[in-house]
Each structure stands twice: as structure tokens, then as C-alpha cells.
Structure 1
Amino acid sequence: MPDSELDILKTAIVNEMEALQFYILAAQLVKDPETKEAFTFLADEEEMHKDRLTGLYRKIAHNQPVGEVLIEETPSPHIFEPGKAKPESSSLEVSLFHICILMEKASIDFYRQAAENSRREEVKALCRQLADWENSHLEILQRIYDHLKEEWWRQQGFSAA
């Protein structure tokens, strides 16, 4: 874990950029329009996080007043509902959602640790907020993944149903 606020923010910016690029790629790979929309929404969220973190980094690096750093919540488009996930999911969708879950878990762990390690209250607050947001993404992604995984198992003939 980085030990200065600037190092924390640099790592967080890279993490958000990597997630952004993954979600863009995932949206390009899937065929289902609702799944594509879900990945596009996640990409937009990660870009917003990256932009806010970059702005905070620049202010701290130049000893400027930070002001309000919290991110306004984006209303959910309600695309992350397991019932909307198509039962004819492919192994690609199952795999992509599993990777998303792993990324979100890593982000949550990073932001929680960063909030504990930071000495600046505005960095702590932003990291806590980002951890909460990533956790809400995680919960939804986990439900979708569980649904798609069970459907995939059923399609493969491994379900008792």
C-alpha cells in the first residue's frame, strides 16, 4: 500500500483507468444489448472516479485548496438486475462478470486500506465513498454472475433441474 496521499491517488487513478479500459473492452465483446449497456455504464462510472481522483491529485500536488471532493451519485439505470440477464448466456459473459467481481473486490480492499492510511481527511472521505460505490457494484455484479453461472451450468446439463 502506498504511504503518501499522492502515491495513494496515483495508484487509485491507475486502478480506475484499468477498470475503465476493461469495461470498454467487455462492452465491445458481448452481443447482448443489455449486457453491453451494463458494461458501458460501469465504464462511465470508472471514468468519473478517475477524473475526480485526477483532479484531487493535481490540487494536492500543487498545494491548492481541495474543497469538496465527493462524487455526486449517478442514478442507476436499473440495468444490473439478474432477471434482465439473458438465460442463454455464454461462457464469455460468465467469465467477464467473474473478472468484474474480482476487480471490484480488489478496488474495495484498496480504497478501504487507502482511507485508513491517508492523513488527509478529504482523501479519506473520497476513498470511503469510492469503496462504498465499488461495493454496491460488487453486490449487483455478484447477483448477475450467480444467475448467469447457474444458467450456464443448466445449459451444459449439470443442473439437477
Structure 2
Amino acid sequence: MKLDELLIIKQAIINEIEGYEFYEMAKNQADSEETKLALDTLAEEELIHSKYLKDLFDKIKDTDEEAFSLAFLADPPSPKIYDWNKYKFPKSSIAVSIYGTAVNLEKAAVEFYQNAKEESNHSEAKKLYDLLIKWERVHLEQFFKAYQINMEDWWTEQGFEPF
């Protein structure tokens, strides 16, 4: 059981690092300092989450079952909430690509943690997966809204109306 949880936490760390790298790349496509700052903050948030998960992994990898349960009690960082609609990219096609990819990354992460929760027999690990699902859903909802708005802008630019 513990090995399964450790493997899931390792994958969660990778997911957060991939998110960090993606938001760093997206930052380079932004055309306003405000957008760059928001994406930089989001990238840093992903690093904070990966550090939290790495610290958790390090606490539980060589411990007994009781210490394993206690390791999950640490207070994790919460995701920041942004209104991504106010952040701009040079072209709506870039915004649609970035937000669409972000939506897919966050959806995949939610599904990964939901599956991990369903397969786990450890109550504290299930609580961790609930927390990770919550983190990813916050981002998913934010990016999905921005994706929808930018998709409408893109269709309008292509001459497809009304919206």
C-alpha cells in the first residue's frame, strides 16, 4: 500500500513540475507585464506544490504506518485565484492554445488524482488526493473560463458570428 502511495506522490511531483514548465513557456508568449507576472506567480505556485509533495514524499518513504499517517497532516499551500480573462496575449490564437493546453493539463491531473483516490485504501492518502483534486480544479475552472472567452474572440476574428 505505501509503495503505491509513494509512486502516486512521485507522479504528482512530476505533474507539478510539468505545470511549472508549461506556465514558464506561456509567460514567454505574453505581451503584457501583468500577464507575465500572473503566469510567473502561477509557475511559482506549481513549484511550491511540488516542494510540498517532495517534502511529504521524503517524510514517508522510510517510515512506519503511524508516521506515514502523521506525515499527511501538514498544512498544504492553497492555489491563488486569478481572473485569467483580464490577461492578454498578442493573438487570440495563442491565448486559445495556451488556455486549451492548460485546461487539458488540469483535467488530466484531476483524473489522475481521482483514480489514485479510488484505488487507495489509506484514509490519509485519500485526503491528500482530495486536496490535490481541489488544487487542480481551481486552476481548471479558471482556465476553462478564459479558454471559452478567448475561443469566442478567435471565432469572431475568423469572421464566424454571432456570439
The interval holding the TM-score normalised by the smaller chain is 0.7 to 0.9
- Partner residue of 1:69? 74
- 1:67 Cα offset (Å): 5.2
1-structure distance, mates of 2:21, 2:116: 22
Which ranges of structure 2 fall in alignment gaps of 5 or more residues? none
Do the aligned partners of residues 74 and 85 (structure 1) sit closer, same or farther apart at CA in structure 2, a change above 3 Å counting?
Answer: closer
Which runs of structure 2 are paired with 1:12-161 in the superposition (5 Å)? Answer: 12-63=12-63, 65=67, 66=71, 68-76=73-81, 79-82=82-85, 84-86=86-88, 89-160=91-162
Q: Output the amino acid matched with 1:142.
A: F
- What is the distance in 2 between the residues matched to 1:61 and 1:88? 46
Report the CA distance shift for 1:136/1:75 in structure 2 as closer, same or farther (over 3 A).
closer
> Judging changes above 3 Å, is the alpha-carbon distance between structure 1 residues 52 and 122 closer, same or farther for their aligned structure 2 residues?
farther
Please say if residues 70 and 126 of structure 1, whose CA atoms lie closer than 8 Å, have aligned partners that are also in contact.
no
> How many residue pairs get matched?
156
Aligned partner of residue 28 in structure 2, secondary structure: helix
Paired amino acid for 1:140? Q
Provide the aligned C-alpha RMSD in A.
Answer: 2.2
Q: What TM-score comes out, normalization by structure 1 length?
A: 0.85
| Runs (5+) with no aligned partner, structure 1 | none
Aligned sequence identity (%): 35
Encode CA deviations 1:33-79: one digit per residue, 9 max, x unaligned.
33323322321221121111111111111217315234132553xx3
TM-score normalised by the chain length of structure 2:
0.84
